[in-house]
Amino acid sequence: MKDNIKRVFLIVLDSFGIGEAPDAALFGDAGSDTLGAVVKSKKFNAPNLTKLGLFAIEGQKEKAPIGAVNNINGAVARLRELSNGKDTTIGHWEMAGIVSEKPLPTYPNGFPSEVIEAFKEATGRGVLCNLPYSGTQVLADYGEEHLRSGDLIVYTSSDSVFQIAAHESLVSPEQLYEYCRMARKILVGDHAVGRVIARPFEGEVGNFVRTSRRHDFSLEPTEDTMLDSLKAEGFDVIGVGKINDIFAGRGLTEYTYSESNADGLLKTSNIAKRDFRGLCFTNLVDFDSKFGHRRDIDGYAAAISEFDEWLGAFLPEMREDDVLIITADHGCDPAYTKTTDHTREYVPMIVAGKRINSVELGTIDGFDTVAATVCALLGSETVYEAPGVAGLICEGKDPTVAELLTLAEKARENAYVPYSHFKVGAALLAKSGNIYLGCNVENASYGGTICAERNAITTAVAAGEREFSAIAICGGINESIDECLPCGICRQFMAEFSPNGDFLIITGNARRPNIYPLSMLLPFAFGGSDIS
Ligand code: THU
């Protein structure tokens, strides 16, 4: 099992976005940029993230502190969220393999009567408030009436939550949890909120305080995630922080909550001292809850600096077969004052480890790239539609079809096409395991143009390669990418190095690749044997 990574540490810096996503305006978040805001703070000091390549990620160079970008030490990419949402649950589910077409429902005007009536019927109690509300203000405004009438205080927020507050002297926490379970059963289908939260409180009128017996009842993931499949295959799956809540307890073999970022990191370090095989999945929520939503730029920057310091101690302790992946679930730009909500942003994927090569992978569609990468690194049997990057970044791992296409897409960005505007990229896999990139290079004397495929093949041959396994090709006018099959000359060129036609031609896109053996695209090829 030499080729598999034994332990993956996946750390989510909750809300650490790196700039507005292409669809940010649809979410009311045009121009948001969490990293862009925090780097400007004097409290920002992140030499280790910088060394791993944070500012080498596409679109980040301009934000870099002076002298930061060259000689990176990790593999980095910018990830775009595919799911239609910008909350913690949807973001984590996507990085674990589920793309959600529908956002989790929110209730800016309170819950509809069908939900409230069913809840009253189930609990036998009335309902107060039923609006988005601050958790402390709701007690000040409705606590007394609740004590008098016995009605439950139901409220929500800008998140997808159904919260029930009740005084512990009137409703025991156990009873309140039971009411939450009833609500959880009602809140399904179109009303499947992310969390039902029990909010017990105590104290006298005018002095109500929430107790520590808060409890979350999360929505179960709608499909199996990488956690479920890793667990089923016998890997250890350890959650730190909110992970157990986010996945409603599913797919974990062990979990622990954390009190703060520092506590979550300490727990992660302690887990790293043990022997296990599989995934340690840590969520650091302070970035979001303590600094992002509170629009505290310096606080956010100081928290990144604190994480970076931990990183400086953790990296040298990593074992040969360990990999660290740092990512985020959405943005929450502390400088964005139109709202105090999350912001729809790209997130970083930063991968480090002794067997990880330094490579800048551009922008990849889908946080589920993380799931595909984790599973491939560990040698799991689960295969994702998403293009993982394990084979591109990790020594001893073979690239997958989707990974080659991801590289072809990246190579395509360099196409020189002033005449046709038809950009083509190619990624050629030699039997040695080395990969060679090519793009088309046009010429004012049109016939002088060289195609992407031949560019890749000649580059490889010049490097001493003679035997090849596959080539991924993608092309299209300007930014659009379509299925692009190789031209006749390129097929003939390929045949030169594949006398029996078993060379594979990969087209389409990373999520939906098509694979053709050369013998199918060029049967009865003319070859060396015909002239000898
Ligand atoms: N092209 C390729 O790079 N590969 C192919 O297999 C088909 C064609 C390029 C050549 C030219 O720059 C542009 O696409 C339009 O023909």
Residue from 446, 449, 457, 458 whose mutation best tests the ligand 1 pocket (most atoms within 8 A of CB): 449
Task: Indicate if ligand 1 lies below 6 Å from the C-beta of 494.
Answer: no
* H helix or E strand, kind and range, residue 461: helix 452-462
Which residues, listed in sequence order, are joined to residue 163 by a DSSP beta bridge?
A: 155, 197
The sign of the torsion formed by the CA atoms of 38, 43, 47, 48 equals: negative
Nearest CA to ligand 1 atom 10: 451
pLDDT of 68 reads: 63
pLDDT of 532 reads: 87
Distance CA 409, CA 394 (A): 19
Residue-wise pLDDT tens for the chain (532 aa)?
Answer: 458 999 999 999 999 999 999 999 999 999 999 999 999 999 999 999 999 999 999 999 999 987 665 678 999 999 999 999 999 999 999 999 999 999 899 999 999 999 999 999 999 999 999 999 999 999 999 999 999 999 999 999 988 999 999 999 999 999 999 999 999 999 999 999 999 999 999 999 999 999 999 988 999 999 999 999 999 999 999 999 999 999 999 999 999 999 999 999 999 999 999 999 999 999 999 999 999 999 999 999 999 999 999 999 999 999 999 999 999 999 999 999 988 889 999 999 999 999 999 999 999 999 999 999 999 999 999 988 898 999 999 998 888 899 999 999 989 999 999 999 999 999 999 999 899 999 999 999 999 999 999 999 999 999 999 999 999 999 999 878 888 999 999 999 999 999 999 999 999 988 889 999 999 999 999 998 899 8
Given the CA of residue 417, which atom of ligand 1 is nearest to it?
A: 12
Nearest CA to ligand 1 atom 4: 451
Vertex 484: Cα angle to 481 and 488 (nearest 5): 155
Task: Indicate if ligand 1 lies below 6 Å from the C-beta of 438.
Answer: no
pLDDT of 286 reads: 97
What is the 3-class SS of 321-345, one letter each residue? CEEEEEECCCECCCCCCCCCCCECE
Q: How far apart are the first and last CA of the chain?
A: 45
Task: Indicate if ligand 1 lies below 6 Å from the C-beta of 507.
Answer: no
Which residues, listed in sequence order, are joined to residue 166 by a DSSP beta bridge?
A: 200
Give the HSE-up count for residue 228: Cα atoms under 13 Å, Cβ half-sphere: 13
The contacts of residue 102 (CB under 8 Å, 6+ apart) are 84, 85
Task: Indicate if ligand 1 lies below 6 Å from the C-beta of 439.
Answer: no
Give the HSE-up count for residue 357: Cα atoms under 13 Å, Cβ half-sphere: 13
Task: Indicate if ligand 1 lies below 6 Å from the C-beta of 471.
Answer: no
Task: Indicate if ligand 1 lies below 6 Å from the C-beta of 411.
Answer: no
pLDDT of 69 reads: 59
Vertex 396: Cα angle to 393 and 401 (nearest 5): 60
**Residue type present at position 455:** N
Distance CA 268, CA 35 (A): 24
Residue from 412, 439, 440, 454 whose mutation best tests the ligand 1 pocket (most atoms within 8 A of CB): 440
From 527, 402, 410, select the one nearest 470 (Cα to Cα): 402
Strand 347-352 versus strand 278-284 pairing type: unpaired
**Residue type present at position 49:** L
**Residue type present at position 390:** A
Q: How far is the CA of 465 from the centre of ligand 1 (A)?
A: 23
- Helical H segments across 124-191, by residue range: 137-149, 173-186
- Number of neighbours of residue 496 by Cβ within 10 angstroms: 13
Task: Indicate if ligand 1 lies below 6 Å from the C-beta of 73.
Answer: no
Distance CA 294, CA 273 (A): 35
Q: How far is the CA of 502 from the centre of ligand 1 (A)?
A: 23
The answer to whether 494 and 471 have CB atoms below 8 angstroms apart is: yes
Distance CA 36, CA 109 (A): 33
28, with CB counted inside 10 A (0-12, 13-18, 19+), is: middle
Task: Indicate if ligand 1 lies below 6 Å from the C-beta of 454.
Answer: no
What 8-state DSSP symbol labels residue 64? S
Which residues, listed in sequence order, are joined to residue 162 by a DSSP beta bridge?
A: 196
Q: How far is the CA of 387 from the centre of ligand 1 (A)?
A: 24
Q: What is the DSSP string of 269-324?
A: HHHHHS--SEEEEEEE-HIIIIIITTT-HHHHHHHHHHHHHHHHHHGGG--TTEEE
Task: Indicate if ligand 1 lies below 6 Å from the C-beta of 420.
Answer: yes
Would you call 248 helix, strand, or coil by DSSP? Answer: coil
Per-residue tokens: 500? 């029996």
The contacts of residue 33 (CB under 8 Å, 6+ apart) are 17, 18, 19, 20, 331, 333, 335, 345
Per-residue tokens: 171? 């409703």
Q: How far is the CA of 210 from the centre of ligand 1 (A)?
A: 66
The contacts of residue 204 (CB under 8 Å, 6+ apart) are none
Vertex 34: Cα angle to 217 and 309 (nearest 5): 85
The answer to whether 283 and 243 have CB atoms below 8 angstroms apart is: yes
Q: How far is the CA of 515 from the centre of ligand 1 (A)?
A: 19
The answer to whether 46 and 320 have CB atoms below 8 angstroms apart is: no
Distance CA 81, CA 379 (A): 25
- Threshold 0.95, pTM exceeds: no
Would you call 439 helix, strand, or coil by DSSP? Answer: strand
From 337, 360, 335, select the one nearest 349 (Cα to Cα): 360
pLDDT of 67 reads: 66
Q: How far is the CA of 407 from the centre of ligand 1 (A)?
A: 17
Task: Indicate if ligand 1 lies below 6 Å from the C-beta of 492.
Answer: no
Which residues, listed in sequence order, are joined to residue 202 by a DSSP beta bridge?
A: 209
Per-residue tokens: 436? 């060679």
20, with CB counted inside 10 A (0-12, 13-18, 19+), is: buried
The answer to whether 128 and 154 have CB atoms below 8 angstroms apart is: yes
Phi, then psi, of 257 in degrees rounded to 5:
-85, 170
203 backbone φψ class: left, alpha, beta (φ>0; ψ -120 to 50): left
pLDDT of 1 reads: 44
